[in-house]
Structure 1
Amino acid sequence: MISEKYLRKVILNADVYAICVQHALTTEKQEIMGLLIGEVDEEKYISHISACVILHRMDKQPDRVEISPEQLCTASMHAEQLANKLKRPMRVLGWYHSHPHITVWPSHVDTRTQAMYQTMDPLFVGMIFSVFQSDPRLRSNQVQLTCFQAYQGTSELERREIEFVIKSSPLQNYNLEGISNLPRILVQEEVDSHDVKDSNTQDELASLHNDSFKTLALVHIVSKVARPLCDDLEERLKAVNARIKALESLKKKLREN
């Protein structure tokens, strides 16, 4: 039986939102996943999410993702390190994953998974990013987000939508480290997947075929993820430097007056 204690609201920092969207857009064939870190107001039941952990997928599937106990433990350790660094109580507050080419609404599997997490923490929240959804009227892809929790209905588990707000925020250093590690994580996933396939075959032609597909996958990560990510960070740096220059100029004028 799930506790009636549930979230009323989620406040999501803009830099975390950007990282989650960037992660979700790395593939349109499988779901991705990660964990959300921040602080929670136990009296008002409001979560303040200010960091995330991008998880390494052990098994790539188009319709489901799973989080291992080891990954939860690693994320908890990361939250403790952030708490010591920021001098604020930080903990794992939820999880996120993507729905490529399908609606944003949680599946029955998602709802059951969410219910399991809530047995450990009643305020644990789930986020789903729907990506690569085409809108024929706008001739563009849409990105949709929902926050949800699970509860026991009259006959089965049901979902409860949670209000969320995206809060304007700069790109924090600890989140910058997280997003910069994304290409490395994707590369490691491909290498691990290739090693499993290669270990299961003794045929040289099949091994050569697998090697070629691994090379194509790595090239795709470099061209479609790593390079655009570097370009984006460089543009952010230019914008920050321009902002600093403008503020210094304003400071100088104020002192002269």
Structure 2
Amino acid sequence: WAPPTRARRTKMAVQVVQAVQAVHLESDAFLVCLNHALSTEKEEVMGLCIGEVSTSPGAPVALPAAAAPRAAGTLTPLMPTRLNDDTRARSKCLRVFLQVDTVRIVHIHSVIILRRSDKRKDRVEISPEQLSAASTEAEISFCCAPTWSMTHRLAELTGRPMRVVGWYHSHPHITVWPSHVDVRTQAMYQMMDQGFVGLIFSCFIEDKNTKTGRVLYTCFQSIQAQKSSEYERIEIPIHIVPHGSIGKVCLESAVELPKILCQEEQDAYRRIHSLTHLDSVTKIHNGSVFTKNLCSQMSAVSGPLLQWLEDRLEQNQQHLQELQQEKEQLLQELSSL
């Protein structure tokens, strides 16, 4: 292996000059993504990421084209590697070298859970037209009003403009790496916004050695392969930003999850129930399956979510009581001075 020449580096950098150098995902948004990904084991789920993009003066960086996926719970930041003779000599994997004028970091503050119109075992997509409609406050099948209102509320809370900066989806029982379809879909999204990123959460994966479940996640963008019309993935370093509490907007997204799952089941049942050629026995069977699915969702999603909210409320009340006691103690100390 030899480091690429300057001419080759320049050629390689053409397609990724505006690549994102890192993604900062807030821990409460990360929690909502995990809850959504773990809500169903049979189909993929999808949502949009709301946040902002910050820029700063750039420098030569090397972005790994095949970085290792991150395991849930890993909070160590993984930043782009600066180029020098030692890192070039020690590099074992393919890297994309580029000279960037500005360093772009995507900050994800919240997520929007999308209602799927088509549920599949190995694929979930929305078209670029739908994404554009959601970003421009147009009406779309999975309702854009919550998209706009959430973005507007988040902008009011932070005092900064917010927008759709990426998408996420789950890979139940399969690898965390994006498929060719995922890479092409990401490339289409980047045609509208070069800073758009994609997140994948691989869940329901069992470690063969420890026999325990794992959740892996990764962030990526797409670049056009050299001398080919196909696209390749480029891994984007992702860092989970710790938070002491869950934000209001993320809490609302978490509460919306059971409602959206219920709406999906209702839409599927009504679509089948409206068919005129079904006999009575088939309709009764479909109704039973519909009821069973709703009960399963209540047991697996709604019940644990309600218990978590009750525990959180009790914890907050206890913390509030401790703060009140501390306040009274400080007032007594002040009055004694």
TM over 0.5: yes
Deviates more, 1:235-244 or 1:222-231: 235-244
Find the counterpart in structure 2 of residue 12 from structure 1.
Answer: 25
Gap change, CA 1:150 and 1:197, over 3 Å in 2: same
Give runs of aligned pairs for residues 29-48 of structure 1, distance below 5 A.
29-43=42-56, 44-48=103-107
Q: Find the aligned partners of 1:35 and 1:181 in 2 and give their Cα distance.
A: 14
Give runs of aligned pairs for residues 147-162 of structure 1, distance below 5 A.
147-154=219-226, 155=228, 156-162=230-236
SS in 2 for 1:181: helix
SS in 1 for 2:284: helix
Conserved? CA contact 2:26–2:241, under 8 Å = yes
Find the counterpart in structure 2 of residue 233 from structure 1.
Answer: 309
Deviation at 1:14, TM superposition (A): 0.7
Conserved? CA contact 2:207–2:214, under 8 Å = yes
Conserved? CA contact 2:150–2:249, under 8 Å = no
Find the counterpart in structure 1 of residue 167 from structure 2.
Answer: 95
Say yes or no: does 1:206 pair with 2:278. Answer: no
The answer to which structure, 1 or 2, has the higher relative contact order (CA under 8 A, 6+ apart) is: 2
Deviates more, 1:69-78 or 1:122-131: 69-78
Conserved? CA contact 1:106–1:128, under 8 Å = yes
Matched residues, percent identical?
44
For structure 1, the residue ranges without an aligned partner over 5 or more in a row are none
Say yes or no: does 1:126 pair with 2:198. Answer: yes
Q: Find the aligned partners of 1:230 and 1:60 in 2 and give their Cα distance.
A: 26
Q: Which amino acid aligns with 2:106?
A: S
Find the counterpart in structure 2 of residue 164 from structure 1.
Answer: 238
SS in 2 for 1:42: strand
Bigger-Rg structure (1/2) = 2
Say yes or no: does 1:82 pair with 2:154. Answer: yes
Deviation at 1:256, TM superposition (A): 4.2
Question: What is the aligned length?
Answer: 257
Deviation at 1:252, TM superposition (A): 3.8
Find the counterpart in structure 1 of residue 70 from structure 2.
Answer: none
RMSD: 1.8
Given candidates 195, 210, 218, the residue that maps to 2:294 is 218
Find the counterpart in structure 1 of residue 118 from structure 2.
Answer: 59
What TM-score do you get using the length of structure 1 for normalisation?
Answer: 0.93
Conserved? CA contact 1:76–1:92, under 8 Å = no
**Deviations, residues 182-220 of structure 1 (Å, cap 9, x unaligned):** 111000100101112222343211111111100000111
For structure 2, the residue ranges without an aligned partner over 5 or more in a row are 1-13, 57-102, 138-143
What TM-score do you get using the length of structure 2 for normalisation?
Answer: 0.72
Q: Which amino acid aligns with 2:55?
A: E
